[in-house]
């Protein structure tokens, strides 16, 4: 006797909120899409809401003359996702009607990719489905759905076919997200809203021949066949550290770090062997003032992201000429390109650099310290001005260090009905060697306001992310996680992200930071000089960190359920 | 909303077919303002081989039986039984006039 329930397993939620197909015959799309969504979450530990409309619109054209609301096959859905990926609803909306939606122009950088899927059928389908669900995750199924199913499964009751009036059935598709031998039933996730069954879920009795869930083949996806998009992961990493979709398991770690002579080196941890290696040295760039000469000009820690431009890598780094430079790796052309330096001419710090959810492709935002002790916010309007960086604002004083700490909040703020402040947060180091959070009030004043201070004796730049901790579903903001080197060791700080901290006054907020760990290198005689990158990875929600040691080498640290562990030096 | 009009001859029975959405949890129900004039009951359509893909729903049908001469309104609502008070997906109203065939014939003469 065994039971599996993917709504909550090992203390973590794995399924997005229940959806509603409304008056559209698109259950097949919800079933196939829900499968990819669940398996991406299970494998990569990230909420990755997908759009049934994306695939549904295409299915309408490719697999039948009818609209997406006229029924279809989950297998066709998976075939289409395998060939084209599937975008998020912000990229491709999903109206519950035959009306076709239009994607944003950066769809190719916002799709979860799928290597393949598997069909589970044959005489052992019952046991094979149970094994698959236990070892891998949910499966998509279709069945003969009778009118009595409308009011079935309330209060965790188990649906057993009876149909005394011999009413005809319609084909319907759902996702099986668990089973319970004690109940002799499958746990199904329907797409009829939370009013159906028990909050949208229901128990469906085993067997039942042609009326049951084992009558037709089920479809499954192994987690490593999913490849999460950078847009879904954008808040989960910062600094020079990123988990890419490369490698056979789509979980390679990528690190970019400044090397001698102004070079930037790219290191990769193979997601299968876990071995670190030097992947490349980034190419020379055109150097000012005339830009005829080629050379290297990296003058400090780079900050990296993967953008919605085809999953391109984007790097902003401080130059030896006290400015910033933006380079990107074109995933289509497989080559690096660099732009001329931009930003303040007295730049003096680690740049915060993110792509935000404004415009499509989303705008880039950079905040960096100037030698005068102020911070400057620069941005690149990726829709309106052809990729030109421009200064947005200058703020603060007495700033000692900036860091890779800029993060965007969840809420589309400024909405009085929501009453949740949106915008950007960052943490910098003051000349009192404490850390201070700043908040940009988007989309209202767009002004940066100083918030709470915390920590002491800080002489190195921090790195901050928004994690999956506390994000109990895809709409709930995750916690703030911050790591910083202090006196040769690393301090890990956090504050809850839900609700987002509110600004009570210009000098105080409700955010209360707590230091939950202090750890260091396991290399004899070595100390941590600076934290360079932080992320939450596919490996069981582990936090991963890259730091620079006082001998110039890099070290990987990882935090699992038992705490932080020093890993490879490379 | 457009209201259809139909004229039935007393004692006759006509079939009204409505596009189904059973695979999305929606069912049609019918209500008559004056059940002494017209009665309505759901009927099962003859089902041949099912070649529709999952998600596509069977049409639903109702039989209208003209019981007495007069005029009444029949209202069809497509809604989910598990969402009481929820918005219906579709509503269709029909004004039904029941006439006596003998009188119609006499008038035409």
User: What ipTM describes this predicted complex?
Assistant: 0.90
Contact A23 B57 (CB under 8 A): no
- Closest residue on chain A to B44 (Cα): A167
The reply to whether residue A192 touches residue B20, judged by beta carbons under 8 angstroms, is no
Give the long-range contacts of residues A155-163, CB within 8 A, separation 24 or more: A155/A198, A156/A198, A156/A203, A157/A203, A158/A183, A158/A184, A158/A185, A158/A203, A158/A204, A158/A205, A159/A185, A159/A202, A159/A203, A159/A204, A159/A205, A160/A205, A160/A208, A161/A205, A161/A208, A161/A211, A161/A212, A163/A211
Predicted pLDDT of residue A63: 62
Q: For chain A, what are the domain ranges?
A: 3-225, 233-569
Judged by a CB distance cut-off of 8 A, whether residue A25 touches chain B is yes
Residue A418 pLDDT: 46
Specify whether the backbone of A178 is left (phi greater than 0), alpha (psi in -120 to 50) or beta.
left
Q: Give the Å distances, CA to CA, from B72 to A418, B14, B33, B42, B95.
A: 47, 15, 6, 18, 6
The answer to whether A27 contacts B24, with C-beta atoms less than 8 Å apart, is yes
Decide if B6 touches A, using CB distance below 8 A: no
Contact status of B22 with chain A (Cβ, < 8 Å): yes
What is the number of other CB atoms lying within 10 angstroms of the CB of residue B83?
18
What span, in angstroms and rounded, lies between the C-alpha atoms of A548 and A485?
Answer: 10
What distance, in Å, lies between the first and last C-alpha atoms of chain B?
37
pLDDT tens profile A334-390: 999 999 999 999 999 999 999 998 889 999 999 999 999 999 999 999 988 778 999
CATH code: domain A3-225 is 3.90.70.10
Q: Does A92 touch chain B (CB under 8 A)?
A: no
As a whole number of angstroms, the distance between CA A251 and CA A128 comes to 27
- Number of C-beta neighbours around residue A388 at 10 A: 10
- Is A167 close to B26, i.e. CB distance below 8 A? no
Nearest CB among A25, A66, A192 relative to B57 is that of A25
Contact between A113 and A85 under an 8 Å Cβ cutoff? The reply is: yes
A28 with B58: Cβ contact below 8 A? no
C-alpha distance from A277 to closest chain B C-alpha (Å): 49
> Could you say which residues of chain B have pLDDT below 70?
1, 46-50, 103-109
Contacts of B86 in chain A (CB under 8 A): 195
- How close B55 comes to chain A (CA, Å)? 4
Alpha-carbon span A138 to A7, nearest angstrom: 10
Of all residues in chain B, the one with the smallest CA distance to A199 is B82
Q: What is the DSSP letter of A107?
A: G
Contact A533, A241 (CB under 8 A): yes
Cα(B47)–Cα(A78) distance, rounded to whole angstroms?
A: 30
Q: Residue A385 has what pLDDT?
A: 77
The reply to whether B57 touches chain A by the CB within 8 Å rule is yes
List the single residue in A27, A64, A74 with the smallest CB-CB distance to B23: A27
Interface touch A25/B56, C-beta < 8 Å: yes
Q: Which residues of A526-562 are buried (b: 16+ CB within 10 A; e: fewer)?
A: bebbbbbbbbbbbbebbbbbbbbbeeeebbbbbbeee
Cα–Cα dist A526/A545, whole Å:
17
Distance CA A228, CA A115 (A): 11
Left, alpha or beta for A59 (phi > 0: left; psi -120 to 50: alpha)?
alpha
Report the largest interatomic distance among the alpha carbons of chain A, rounded to a whole angstrom. 86
Which residues 59-98 of chain B have a CB within 8 Å of chain A?
Answer: 78, 80-83, 86, 89-90
- For residue B12, the distance in angstroms to the closest alpha carbon of chain A comes to 25
Q: Alpha-carbon distance B20 to B45, whole Å? A: 12
pLDDT for position A416? 40
- A233-569 is classed in which CATH architecture? 6 Propeller (2.120)
CA distances for A532 relative to A158, A304, A370, angstroms: 53, 11, 19
Residue spans of chain A under pLDDT 70:
61-66, 411-421, 503-510
Secondary element (H or E) of residue A125: helix A125-135
How far apart are the CA of B108 and the nearest CA of chain A, in angstroms? 44
Opening angle at CA A407, ends A406 and A411, nearest 5:
145
CA atoms within 13 A on the CB side of A272: 6
Give the Cα separation of A434 and A90 in Å (integer): 38
To probe the interface with B, which of A95, A98, A170, A219 has the most B CB atoms within 10 Å?
A: A170
Name beta bridge partners: A429: A401, A435
**Residue B61 and residue B42 in contact, taking contact as beta carbons nearer than 8 Å:** yes
User: Which one, of A438, A442, A85, A443, lies nearest residue A232 by Cα?
Assistant: A85
Pair of tokens at residue B43: 């009927």
| pTM of the predicted structure, to 2 decimals | 0.94
* Chain A, chain B: beta-carbon pairs less than 8 Å apart: 98
Tens-place pLDDT, residues A5-21? 999 999 999 999 999 99
- φ, ψ of residue A18 to 5 degrees: the values are -60, 140
Residues of B in contact with A148 (CB under 8 A): none
| pLDDT tens digits along B28-51 | 999 999 999 999 999 887 666 667
Distance spanning both ends of chain A, measured CA to CA: 47
Question: A472 — alpha (psi -120 to 50), left (phi > 0) or beta?
Answer: alpha
Asked if A510 and A542 touch (Cβ cutoff 8 Å), the reply is no
Mutate to test the interface with B, among A20, A25, A191 (most CBs of B within 10 A): A25
User: Residue A347: is it exposed, middle or buried by C-beta count within 10 angstroms (0-12/13-18/19+)?
Assistant: buried
Spell out where A455-540 has E strands: 463-466, 480-486, 489-495, 503-505, 508-509, 514-519, 528-536
**Chain-chain contact of A192 with B21 (C-beta, under 8 angstroms):** no
């Amino acid at each position: 006797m065994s039971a599996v329930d993917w709504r909550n397993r090992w203390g973590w939620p794995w399924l997005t909120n229940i959806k509603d197909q409304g008056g559209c015959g698109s259950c097949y799309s919800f079933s196939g899409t829900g499968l990819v969504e669940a398996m991406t979450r299970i494998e990569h530990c990230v909420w990755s809401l997908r759009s049934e409309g994306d695939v549904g619109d295409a299915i309408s054209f490719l697999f039948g003359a009818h609209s997406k609301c006229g029924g279809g096959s989950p297998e066709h859905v998976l075939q289409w996702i395998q060939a084209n990926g599937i975008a998020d609803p912000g990229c491709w909306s999903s109206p519950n009607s035959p009306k076709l939606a239009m994607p944003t122009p950066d769809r190719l950088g916002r799709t979860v990719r799928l290597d393949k899927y598997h069909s589970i059928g044959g005489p052992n389908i019952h046991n094979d489905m149970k094994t698959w669900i236990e070892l891998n995750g949910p499966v998509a199924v279709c069945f003969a759905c009778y009118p009595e199913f409308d009011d079935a499964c309330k209060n965790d009751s188990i649906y057993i076919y009876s149909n005394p009036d011999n009413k005809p059935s319609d084909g319907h598709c759902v996702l099986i997200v668990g089973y319970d031998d004690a109940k002799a039933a499958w746990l199904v996730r329907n797409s009829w809203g939370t009013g159906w069954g028990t909050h949208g879920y229901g128990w469906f009795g085993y067997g039942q021949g042609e009326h049951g869930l084992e009558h037709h083949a089920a479809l499954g996806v192994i987690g490593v066949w999913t490849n999460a998009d950078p847009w879904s992961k954008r808040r989960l990493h910062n600094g020079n550290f990123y988990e890419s979709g490369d490698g056979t398991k789509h979980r390679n770690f990528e690190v970019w770090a400044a090397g001698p002579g102004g070079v930037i080196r790219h290191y990769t941890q193979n997601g299968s062997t876990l071995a670190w290696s030097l992947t490349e040295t980034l190419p020379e760039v055109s150097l000012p003032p005339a830009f005829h000469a080629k050379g290297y000009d990296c003058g400090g820690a780079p900050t990296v992201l993967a953008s919605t431009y085809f999953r391109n890598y984007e790097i902003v780094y401080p130059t030896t000429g006290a400015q910033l430079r933006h380079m990107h790796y074109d995933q289509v052309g497989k080559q690096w390109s660099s732009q001329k330096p931009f930003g303040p001419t007295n730049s003096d710090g680690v740049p915060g650099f993110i792509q935000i959810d404004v415009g499509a492709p989303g705008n880039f935002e950079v905040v960096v310290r100037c030698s005068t002790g102020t911070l400057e916010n620069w941005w690149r309007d990726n829709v309106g001005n052809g990729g030109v960086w421009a200064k947005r604002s200058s703020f603060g004083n007495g700033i000692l260090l900036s860091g890779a700490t800029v993060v965007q909040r969840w809420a589309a703020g400024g909405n009085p009905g929501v009453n949740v402040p949106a915008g950007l947060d960052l943490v910098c180091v003051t000349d009192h060697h404490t850390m201070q959070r700043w908040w940009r009030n988007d989309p209202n004043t767009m002004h940066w306001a100083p918030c709470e201070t915390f920590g002491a004796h800080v002489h190195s730049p921090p790195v901050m992310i928004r994690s999956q901790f506390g994000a109990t579903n895809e709409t709930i903001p995750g916690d703030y996680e911050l790591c910083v080197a202090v006196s040769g060791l690393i301090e890990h700080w956090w504050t809850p992200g839900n609700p987002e901290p509110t600004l009570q006054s210009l000098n105080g907020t409700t955010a209360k930071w707590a230091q939950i760990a202090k750890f260091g290198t396991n290399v004899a005689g070595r100390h941590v000089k600076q934290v360079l990158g932080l992320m939450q990875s596919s490996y069981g929600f582990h936090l991963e960190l890259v730091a620079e040691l006082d001998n110039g080498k890099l070290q990987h640290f990882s935090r699992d359920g038992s705490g932080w562990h020093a890993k490879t030096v490379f | 909303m457009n209201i259809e009009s139909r004229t039935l001859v007393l004692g006759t029975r006509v079939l009204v077919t409505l596009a189904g959405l059973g695979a999305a949890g929606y069912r049609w129900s019918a209500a008559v303002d004056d059940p002494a004039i017209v009665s309505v009951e759901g009927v099962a359509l003859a089902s041949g081989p099912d070649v529709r893909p999952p998600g596509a729903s069977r049409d639903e049908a109702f039989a209208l039986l003209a019981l007495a001469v007069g005029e009444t309104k029949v209202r069809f609502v497509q809604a989910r039984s598990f969402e009481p008070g929820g918005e219906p997906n579709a509503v269709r109203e029909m004004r039904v006039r029941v006439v006596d065939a003998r009188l119609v014939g006499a008038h035409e003469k």
